[in-house]
Chain A
Amino acid sequence: MLRHAPSGAHDSSARAPRVQPAGALGKGLLGIYLTALVLLPVAALLAKSGTGGTSAFWREITNTEALAAIKLTLIISVIVVVINAIFGTLIAWVLVRDEFPGKRIVNALIDLPFALPTIVAGLVLLALYGKGSPVGIDVAFTRVSVALALLFVTLPFVVRSVQPVLGELDLSMEEAAASLGARPPMILRRIVLPGLMPAIISGVALSFARAVGEFGSLVLITGNLPFKTEVGSVYVFGQIENENLPAAAAVSVALLLAAVAVLGALTLLSRWSSRHVR
């Protein structure tokens, strides 16, 4: 880790007055804030999911409805991040390498899914792709609608992580390859994609984490049908409403573990790809 990039050469501990605006009082308040907001709630969640021991935890997450919801969440999230990887990279490419009128507006529009409240995102999609659709496409209450909503809310991740890297990519490599007779597909595969891979993977990881936990945009458009369109977070919500908190906590933790496992795998993949491909 390279912190203090500008003054990295100096040993800051050698200097006498160390600036510490967050004094003891500040640190204490920060500690209380983080404890109240993050530490205690997460601890309570873990404790609740483990109250009945491993067997109870296992029973809760292998309940047929819970299992179907977890499976659906993971499978659709994988599909969604693959589509994101492809179209996100394409969009980033167009925004960096292409010139067309209105590019600035398109660039600003990319962040819309981050700014738009999730419930509005769901309603917006439903207005066009739901019952009475003016374009004759009605995907409401189907699994396609789950994917559609997830694609909407995760759109910016890959674009925004690839865009800066693509901007920094050395064009002379591609020109050299082209002058040596490499065709565009080969340049893409051998030169551009390896350089972009870590960025694509990090965007994919963020998309995946978001997709696994997404709730607001799914509520209206998917109909929350058990065994059909009910994803993990919606199942958890239902269990909370039924005051079945142990089940809600167990499935929450299972989803968290799945997300952490995928993120870990992607981190390893990213390290591997940046070490081996170049």
Chain B
Amino acid sequence: MSASRAGAVTLPRAPAGGAHPRRDASAGRTAAARAARRRRIGVRAAALGYLATLLLAPLVMIFYRTFEHGLAPVWNAVTAPNAQHAFWLSLEIVALAVPLNTVFGIGMALLLERGRIRGKALLGMLIDVPFAISPVVVGLALVLVYGKSGWLGNALSETGIQVIFSVPGMVLATAMVSLPFVARETMPVLRELGDDAEQAAATLGASAWQTFWRVTLPGIRWGVVYGVVLTTARALGEFGAVSIVSGRIQGQTQTLPLYVQDRFENFDLTGAYTAAVVLALLAMATLLAMNLLTRRTRGGKAA
């Protein structure tokens, strides 16, 4: 008797009526659900709070700082000759480096996924090197090859080509830091695509070029475009490597990111903030493009 009573105390109450157990069970469930909800909201608050502190608040702040004295100083900063020059130089370098990396990136992806060559693993590592090393080291390495006292310095100065402290070096530096994107974004698409359609085209008598243009490229185009978007963003914003190889000559070899630093260090905060906001807007446009593209490729995969 006493044992059963003790059991009744410690264990969940035995069913006595029709309504009780249901009420008890639902009470237990809501308590558990409430705890789960609390946890979920806690985790959400921690994650979003972290993002707000680290990303969002600073980003909002820079827009505020830029426009806090009205539009006139911003307009002056945008139309300053050095700012204009930096902007167009940045675009020029992007216009040279991105197509180079696109063509060679597709080539590398094809070679690594379809080609039959020895040392593929080594080639794959070589492509990733620019991601693994600091932009400063990229700049240094280029100076050691193409600089005045570099390995090719004499040969270059004899032919009268100046690479370091001029645009060719800046294009090289930009191309090197953004080298892997197109290849790395195209390779998985190529792999997934398989080579059945290519084999069929070849069997039907298409030349290698025809197969590439009519079969392979249409299949991989979104991967390539995604890689191009990433390459462009990186090329536009590159700072460390370009800083070293350019010599930072105002109005000559100063890109927009270098101009931001120059303005900041010369206490022209509006100039620095304005240029930074221009770059930030371009970055956000990149984000938008990336999102549209991922949705597009996902849609394509699902279909």
Partners in one complex: yes
User: Which residues of chain A are within 8 angstroms of B272 by Cβ–Cβ distance?
Assistant: 123
Query: Does A182 reach chain B (CB closer than 8 Å)?
Result: no
- In the complex, the answer to whether B140 meets A98 with C-beta atoms within 8 Å is no
SS class, residues of chain B in contact with chain A: helix
- Interface size bracket, B side: 35 or more
Which residue of B113, B133, B239, B290 is within 8 Å of A117 (Cβ)?
B239
| Chain A residue at minimal CB-CB distance from B132 | A209
Given known A-B contacts A21-B216, A90-B50, A237 and B151 have beta carbons under 8 A apart = no
User: Which residues of chain B are within 8 angstroms of A20 by Cβ–Cβ distance?
Assistant: 114-115, 208
CA distance A235 to B59 in the complex (A): 28
Query: Does A113 reach chain B (CB closer than 8 Å)?
Result: yes
| Chain B residue at minimal CB-CB distance from A8 | B194
Which residue of B44, B136, B288 is within 8 Å of A233 (Cβ)?
B136
Which residue of B176, B195, B260, B288 is within 8 Å of A19 (Cβ)?
B195
Which residue of A3, A117, A212 is within 8 Å of B236 (Cβ)?
A117
User: Which residues of chain B are within 8 angstroms of A212 by Cβ–Cβ distance?
Assistant: 134
User: Which residues of chain A are within 8 angstroms of B58 by Cβ–Cβ distance?
Assistant: 124-125, 127-129, 152
Query: Of residues 73 to 105 in A, which have CB atoms within 8 Å of B's CB atoms?
Result: 87, 90-91, 93-94, 98, 100
Query: Of residues 206 to 226 in A, which have CB atoms within 8 Å of B's CB atoms?
Result: 209, 212-216, 219-220
Which residue of B191, B209, B261, B286 is within 8 Å of A3 (Cβ)?
B191
Query: Does B165 reach chain A (CB closer than 8 Å)?
Result: no
Binds A, one of B12-20, B80-88, B275-283: B275-283
B106-129: contact bitstring with A at CB < 8 Å (1 yes, 0 no)?
A: 011011011111000001001101
- In the complex, the answer to whether A117 meets B194 with C-beta atoms within 8 Å is no
A140-159: contact bitstring with B at CB < 8 Å (1 yes, 0 no)?
A: 00000000100110010000
User: Which residues of chain A are within 8 angstroms of B287 by Cβ–Cβ distance?
Assistant: 108-109, 111-112, 115
User: Which residues of chain B are within 8 angstroms of A255 by Cβ–Cβ distance?
Assistant: 134, 137
Q: How many residues of A contact B (CB 8 A)?
A: 89
User: Which residues of chain A are within 8 angstroms of B288 by Cβ–Cβ distance?
Assistant: 108
User: Which residues of chain A are within 8 angstroms of B143 by Cβ–Cβ distance?
Assistant: 240, 245
Query: Of residues 1 to 40 in A, which have CB atoms within 8 Å of B's CB atoms?
Result: 3-7, 12-13, 15-23, 26-27, 29-30, 33-34, 36-40
- In the complex, the answer to whether A237 meets B216 with C-beta atoms within 8 Å is no
User: Which residues of chain B are within 8 angstroms of A180 by Cβ–Cβ distance?
Assistant: none
Binds A, one of B3-11, B71-79, B197-205: B197-205
- In the complex, the answer to whether A120 meets B130 with C-beta atoms within 8 Å is no
User: Which residues of chain B are within 8 angstroms of A44 by Cβ–Cβ distance?
Assistant: 141, 144-145, 150-151
Query: Of residues 36 to 50 in B, which have CB atoms within 8 Å of A's CB atoms?
Result: 36, 39-40, 43-44, 46-48, 50
Shortest beta-carbon distance from B58 to chain A in Å: 4
User: Which residues of chain A are within 8 angstroms of B279 by Cβ–Cβ distance?
Assistant: 116-117, 120
User: Which residues of chain A are within 8 angstroms of B144 by Cβ–Cβ distance?
Assistant: 41, 44-45, 47-48, 245, 249
User: Which residues of chain B are within 8 angstroms of A173 by Cβ–Cβ distance?
Assistant: none
User: Which residues of chain B are within 8 angstroms of A234 by Cβ–Cβ distance?
Assistant: 136
CA distance A216 to B108 in the complex (A): 29
- In the complex, the answer to whether A19 meets B198 with C-beta atoms within 8 Å is yes
Query: Does A70 reach chain B (CB closer than 8 Å)?
Result: no
Query: Does B131 reach chain A (CB closer than 8 Å)?
Result: yes
Shortest beta-carbon distance from A114 to chain B in Å: 7
Query: Does B167 reach chain A (CB closer than 8 Å)?
Result: no
Query: Does B139 reach chain A (CB closer than 8 Å)?
Result: yes
User: Which residues of chain B are within 8 angstroms of A260 by Cβ–Cβ distance?
Assistant: 132
Query: Does A200 reach chain B (CB closer than 8 Å)?
Result: no
- In the complex, the answer to whether B51 meets A38 with C-beta atoms within 8 Å is no
Given known A-B contacts A15-B199, A120-B283, A233 and B140 have beta carbons under 8 A apart = no
Given known A-B contacts A5-B191, A94-B47, A127-B58, A252 and B40 have beta carbons under 8 A apart = no
Shortest beta-carbon distance from A193 to chain B in Å: 14
CA distance A13 to B199 in the complex (A): 12
Query: Does B54 reach chain A (CB closer than 8 Å)?
Result: yes
- In the complex, the answer to whether B273 meets A127 with C-beta atoms within 8 Å is yes
Query: Of residues 224 to 260 in B, which have CB atoms within 8 Å of A's CB atoms?
Result: 230, 233, 236-240, 243-244, 256-258, 260
Sample of 15 further A-B pairs with CB below 8 A, known A7-B195, A120-B276: A19-B199, A21-B110, A38-B176, A42-B129, A44-B144, A109-B287, A114-B233, A115-B237, A117-B238, A117-B283, A124-B59, A184-B36, A215-B239, A245-B144, A252-B137
Listed A/B pairs (30) with beta-carbon separation below 8 Å: A5-B192, A19-B195, A21-B212, A21-B216, A22-B110, A27-B115, A30-B111, A34-B104, A41-B144, A94-B48, A111-B290, A112-B55, A112-B283, A115-B284, A115-B286, A115-B287, A118-B240, A118-B257, A119-B260, A120-B257, A148-B54, A213-B133, A213-B134, A215-B134, A233-B134, A233-B136, A236-B134, A240-B136, A252-B140, A259-B132
Chain A contacts to B: CB under 8 angstroms: 3-7, 12-13, 15-23, 26-27, 29-30, 33-34, 36-42, 44-45, 47-48, 87, 90-91, 93-94, 98, 100, 106, 108-120, 123-125, 127-129, 134-135, 148, 151-152, 155, 184, 209, 212-216, 219-220, 232-234, 236-237, 240, 245, 248-249, 252, 255-256, 259-260
